[in-house]
Amino acid sequence: MSFNLAVLAVAVLMLIIGAVIGFFVRKSAYENSLKQAGKSAESIIATAKKNAASAKKEALIEAREESHKYRQQQEDDLRERRKELQRQENRMLQREDTLDRKDSSLDQREHSLEKREEKIDSTEQKLENQQKEVISTLEKQQQKLEEIAGMTHEQARDFLLNQLNDELVQEKAQLIRASEESAQQDAKKKAKQLVVEAIQQSAADTVSESTVTTVALPNEEMKGRIIGREGRNIRTIESLTGIDVIIDDTPQAVALSGFDPIRREIARLTLEKLISDGRIHPGRIEEMVDKSRKEMDTRIRELGEQTVYDLGIHNMNPDLIKIVGRLNFRTSYGQNILSHSIEVAKIAGTMAAELGEDETLAKRAGLLHDIGKALDHEIEGSHVEIGVDVTTKYKEPKVVVNTIAASHGDVEPTSMIAMLVAAADAISAARPGARSESMENYIHRLEKLETIANSYDGVDHCYAIQAGREIRIMVKPDKISDNQSTILARKIKNQIEKELEYPGHIKVTVIRETRKIAYAK
């Protein structure tokens, strides 16, 4: 036991001795490393001081060089500024010299002007004196002339003015006659040739305007079936088509009345289908109305396509072609609008070809010039405004749009084609039998013609003849001379063109007759 404690004590002692020795060894190594670190730090500090001194010298050298450059630049700038100031000073001196010379010149001119003013004042004084003398002389001469002529100054002036007015009236009438004769000689032959060639290549039927369509019945019993129990069938037809069905005493016939030709045609097709089928009741009526509407749409489209194809017009919007087909069911003064538009297109195309214009474009403009009439009962506005909007919407050429806008004179035509279409429109509307006219409008036009003629002084009486296409005016020969008759005819013609609307043209004839009768006894 004691031995083990001794060994343990020796071991502990050895450990303590080892720890002490290790401590001193580490301490010696630490001191050596501190000495080496101090030496390396001193070396680094010395090197850094050397580098800092070198960098300081280089920075001082660069700063001196920069300062020198800056100083040199500033000196150069100062020298340039001095030179510029010297140049400006020289220019100012030159301007001062110039102003001095101008000042001297102005003084001389002022002196010269003063002399001229003095001369002008003296000249004016002399002229005033001379003017007074002339006025006095003229007054004396005028008094002598009045004594010699036996007329005052005012009487002589009125005499001369009346004589000059008569001469001017005569010259004016001669100029009017000469200009009319010259224009007729140059243009009448060519215009007639163009118009005749255009018209003879176009022919259109006349369709009477109507608001009633008659449908034939196989027997009288069919009327009762159309009316239906308590009138339910006829009410259904009228409500679905918007057309009045008139059943009267006319044997084996029913009348369809309405202002919309397309609706009237749909009602006619519906009735014919119902009569053919034999089954007439509200359900069947509704089915036939739908079928007739579809057939009508197909027919309208085919009419438009056929019209465009016949005229040789291409690249037209399908919706616009359908609107063209609708024109077949519109009339104006009894004239079918589609037939009228085709006729206008052909006439305008022929005249355009003769004059070297685009024939196809002229036909296109002629066909579409009344396109607004196909929609004027559905859209507010005049048919001209509607036509312009529709053709603009479907991107028609500007010439076509302007032709429609200028067709009634609201807008100035911008192309030859627009004027040709207007002429073709007038030709188509004015040809005999093209349009019907109500008796009320006819009488109103005749009365207006005679009222216009009677409103002028010197007119004795007048007569509207040839269905209002000519007016003959008898004038008083003691108040209207031959030359004044020419002027009167032109004035009445201008007023008729301004105030009346009429197809074709109206001939104005002024008659002045003087009779002298003597009896030998």
Whichever domain contains 270, its CATH number is 3.30.1370.10
Instruction: Report how far residue 240's alpha carbon sits from residue 234's, in angstroms, rounded to the nearest whole number.
Output: 10
**Segment holding 462, helix H or strand E:** strand 459-465
Query: Is residue 181 in a domain?
Result: no
> What digits encode the pLDDT tens for the residues 186-228?
665 665 555 555 554 554 444 444 567 778 888 888 888 888 8
* Cα dihedral value 204, 210, 211, 217, nearest 10: -100
Name the domain boundary from 293, 327, 352: 293
Strands, sheet with 244-246, edge to edge from the N-terminal-most edge strand:
212-216, 253-257, 244-246
467, two tokens: 């269905």
Instruction: Report how far residue 404's alpha carbon sits from residue 388's, in angstroms, rounded to the nearest whole number.
Output: 6
Planar angle of CA 243, 247, 250, nearest 5 degrees: 130
Q: If we measure between CA atoms, which residue out of 159, 168, 164 comes closest to residue 487? A: 168
Residue 333 phi, psi (nearest 5): 55, 35
Query: What are the distances in angstroms from CA 318 to CA 4, 89, 98, 309, 330?
Result: 127, 83, 82, 13, 20
For residues 423 and 458, state if they share a domain.
no
**Segment holding 34, helix H or strand E:** helix 2-149
Instruction: Report how far residue 316's alpha carbon sits from residue 318's, in angstroms, rounded to the nearest whole number.
Output: 6
Query: Is residue 277 in a domain?
Result: yes
**Segment holding 213, helix H or strand E:** strand 212-216
Query: Is residue 362 in a domain?
Result: yes
Name the domain boundary from 261, 293, 325: 293
Query: What are the distances in angstroms from CA 336 to CA 60, 121, 463, 504?
Result: 108, 85, 33, 18
For residues 422 and 324, state if they share a domain.
yes
Per-residue pLDDT of the chain (521 residues; tens, 9 = 90+): 556 667 777 777 777 887 777 777 777 776 777 777 777 777 888 887 788 888 888 888 888 888 888 888 888 888 888 888 888 888 888 888 888 888 888 888 888 888 888 888 888 888 888 888 888 887 777 777 777 767 776 777 777 677 777 767 777 677 777 766 666 666 656 655 555 555 545 544 444 445 677 788 888 888 888 888 888 888 888 888 888 888 877 788 888 887 778 888 888 888 888 888 888 888 888 888 898 888 888 988 998 899 888 888 888 888 888 888 888 888 776 678 888 888 888 888 888 888 888 888 888 988 888 888 887 667 777 788 888 888 898 888 888 889 888 877 778 888 888 888 888 888 777 655 555 444 566 677 788 888 888 888 888 888 887 667 788 999 988 888 888 888 888 889 888 888 887 666 788 899 988 776 777 76
> What digits encode the pLDDT tens for the residues 448-482?
888 888 888 888 888 887 667 788 999 988 888 88
Q: How many CB atoms lie within 10 A of CB 145?
A: 13
Query: Is residue 68 in a domain?
Result: no
Concatenating the DSSP letter of every residue in 139-201 gives HHHHHHHHHHHT--HHHHHHHHHHHHHHHHHHHHHHHHHHHHHHHHHHHHHHHHHHHHHHHHT
Instruction: Report how far residue 302's alpha carbon sits from residue 313's, in angstroms, rounded to the nearest whole number.
Output: 15
Query: Is residue 250 in a domain?
Result: yes
For residues 385 and 364, state if they share a domain.
yes
Whichever domain contains 463, its CATH number is: 3.30.70.1350
Q: Is 334 within 8 Å of 324 (Cβ atoms)?
A: no
Region of 210 (left: φ > 0; alpha: ψ -120 to 50; beta: rest) is: beta
Sign of the CA dihedral with 486 first, then 487, 489, and 494 last: positive
Pairing of strands 253-257, 212-216: antiparallel
Encode 384-404 in three state secondary structure. Answer: HHHHHHHHHHCCCCHHHHHHH
Structural domain boundaries enclosing 372: 312-430
Residue 483, SS3 per DSSP: helix
For residues 491 and 400, state if they share a domain.
no
For residues 228 and 278, state if they share a domain.
yes
Query: Is residue 324 in a domain?
Result: yes
Q: Is 489 within 8 Å of 474 (Cβ atoms)?
A: no
For residues 422 and 480, state if they share a domain.
no
> What digits encode the pLDDT tens for the residues 280-338?
888 888 888 898 888 888 988 998 899 888 888 888 888 888 888 888 888 776 678 88
Name the domain boundary from 224, 259, 293: 293
Query: Is residue 38 in a domain?
Result: no
Whichever domain contains 374, its CATH number is: 1.10.3210.10
Pairing of strands 335-336, 253-257: unpaired
pTM of the predicted model over 0.85: no
Residue 371, SS3 per DSSP: helix
Q: Is 262 within 8 Å of 296 (Cβ atoms)?
A: yes
**Number of residues assigned to the chain:** 521
For residues 286 and 325, state if they share a domain.
no
419, two tokens: 């004027």
151 Cβ neighbours under 8 A, 6+ residues apart? 159
Encode 293-338 in three state secondary structure. Answer: HHHHHHHHHHHHHHHHHHHCCCCCCHHHHHHHHHHHHCEECCEEHH
Q: If we measure between CA atoms, which residue out of 283, 291, 288 comes closest to residue 232? A: 283
75, two tokens: 């000196």
Number of domains in the chain: 3
For residues 452 and 422, state if they share a domain.
no
**In the prediction, which pLDDT does 208 show?**
42
Q: Is 347 within 8 Å of 421 (Cβ atoms)?
A: no
Q: Is 510 within 8 Å of 489 (Cβ atoms)?
A: yes
For residues 451 and 412, state if they share a domain.
no
For residues 424 and 508, state if they share a domain.
no
For residues 426 and 336, state if they share a domain.
yes
Instruction: Report how far residue 11's alpha carbon sits from residue 9's, in angstroms, rounded to the nearest whole number.
Output: 5
For residues 273 and 349, state if they share a domain.
no
Farthest-apart Cα atoms in the chain, separation: 213
Query: Is residue 48 in a domain?
Result: no
